[in-house]
């Protein structure tokens, strides 16, 4: 069976390293219950510490620089992320587009830099048109995980439920654009009660989980629900 992914995006949470350690340990425990690859994406500054606790799950970052190194105040490079134990990185998340005005050109630059650093890219796209724009810039999606992430479905931006059948339709469209073999994920208010249907009826290879990944009980139930797919 093709590899399946559960990617936990903690966003700018939790407030302290102590809480992050506890949350990560719960995610580690949950990750042992599934054959899916569980990737935890904490804020940058916790990743190095959490890599010391990492056994079964993998670590990812929520963003990276479009440059490999140099004078870029506040930025973090792909190779720095690799060095502290990250193997994945999310680029083009809808919150970065909305609040930080990140453009498709910036996202593509980050995806290229992350690939150069040996990170696996988790590229978010709102719709087929955005994915086409990325294809023009990147040419190939080899080794990139593509996330269908409609912003209106994100828990903090309306949490509009997208029916699994509609996810399946878009996932099919995304597959046509991205090319054969590219894994398509879905993100937007995925929780323990919706995860199973999103996998089985939504025809995706994985899920990007925000708020539900901050609740250890909910995240564990979600992982278990996916297990029986």
Which residue lies nearest ligand PGA, judged by its C-beta?
A: 210
**Nearest approach, Cβ of 194 to ligand PGA (angstroms)?**
10
**Nearest approach, Cβ of 69 to ligand PGA (angstroms)?**
29
Active site (annotated) includes residue 149:
yes
Residue closer to ligand PGA, measured from CB, 10 or 141: 10
Q: Which of 126, 130, 149, 218 is catalytic?
A: 149
Burial grade of 70 (CB within 10 A; 0-12, 13-18, 19 or more): exposed
**Nearest approach, Cβ of 73 to ligand PGA (angstroms)?**
26
Active site (annotated) includes residue 93:
yes
Q: Which of 28, 93, 134, 218 is catalytic?
A: 93
User: Would you say 184 and 174 are in contact if contact means Cβ atoms under 8 Å apart?
Assistant: yes
Tell me which residues touch ligand PGA (CB under 6 A): 9, 149, 154-155, 187-190, 208-212
**Nearest approach, Cβ of 140 to ligand PGA (angstroms)?**
24
Tokens representing 203?
């025809």
Residue closer to ligand PGA, measured from CB, 79 or 155: 155
Q: Which residues are catalytic?
A: 93, 149
């Amino acid at each position: 069976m093709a590899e399946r992914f559960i990617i936990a995006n903690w966003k700018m949470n939790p407030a302290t390293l102590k809480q992050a350690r506890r949350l990560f340990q719960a995610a580690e425990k949950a990750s042992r219950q599934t054959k899916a690859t569980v990737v935890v994406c904490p804020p940058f500054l916790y990743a190095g510490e959490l890599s010391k606790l990492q056994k079964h799950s993998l670590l990812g970052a929520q963003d990276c620089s479009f440059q490999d190194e140099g004078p870029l105040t506040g930025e973090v490079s792909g190779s720095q992320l690799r060095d502290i134990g990250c193997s994945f990185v999310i680029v083009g998340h809808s919150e970065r587009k909305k609040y930080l005005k990140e453009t498709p050109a910036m996202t593509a630059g980050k995806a290229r830099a992350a690939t150069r650093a040996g990170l696996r890219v988790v590229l978010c796209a709102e719709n087929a048109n955005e994915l086409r724009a990325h294809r023009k810039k990147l040419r190939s999606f080899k080794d990139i995980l593509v996330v269908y992430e409609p912003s209106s479905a994100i828990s903090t931006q309306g949490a509009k439920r997208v029916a699994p059948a509609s996810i399946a339709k878009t996932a099919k469209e995304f597959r046509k654009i991205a090319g054969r073999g590219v894994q398509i994920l879905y993100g937007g208010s995925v929780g323990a009660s919706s995860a199973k249907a999103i996998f089985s009826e939504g025809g995706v290879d994985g899920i990007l989980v925000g708020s539900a990944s901050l609740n250890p009980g909910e995240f564990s139930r979600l992982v278990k629900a996916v297990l029986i797919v």
